[in-house]
Amino acid sequence: MSEYLIKDVMDQIFSKLPLKSLLRFKCLSKSWDSQISSPEFIWLHTQESVLPKPPTHDIMRYFCTAFKREKIVLTDASGFDTQISLESPFNGRVPDYFYCRIVAICNGVFCVKLFI
């Protein structure tokens, strides 16, 4: 699986994991072991653990009856102060009622977790 993911994306995902999980993941493959053991990753993980966490954003999906299109709205965790509206990539492929949270963003790629 790791050969399909870009190293930077994996570093961002791994850097947010607890140390105990990372130590267990080192046993999964040689490439993960070398990536997690690298001095660059250790420095990144250390920086992630001491820096304040950025605010999380929520995603809300709704159907726009005027344009007959699904829309996605990104909002900050404190409410609806900050909003970004996007066209929905789902197009009915997920249930009508769901909740998802942005786990990480790297170079415009969103990693989201769906709660269905």
Residue 72 to residue 64: CA distance in whole angstroms:
10
Record the pTM: 0.42
| Amino acid identity, position 108 | G
CA–CA dist 35, 41 (Å, integer): 7
pLDDT tens digits, 1-41: 445 557 777 787 888 888 888 888 888 888 888 888 989 88
Residue 92 has pLDDT above 60, yes or no: no
- 38-50 mean pLDDT: 83
pLDDT above 70: percentage of residues in the chain: 42
Q: What is the pLDDT of residues 53-68, one digit of tens each?
A: 655 655 555 555 555 5
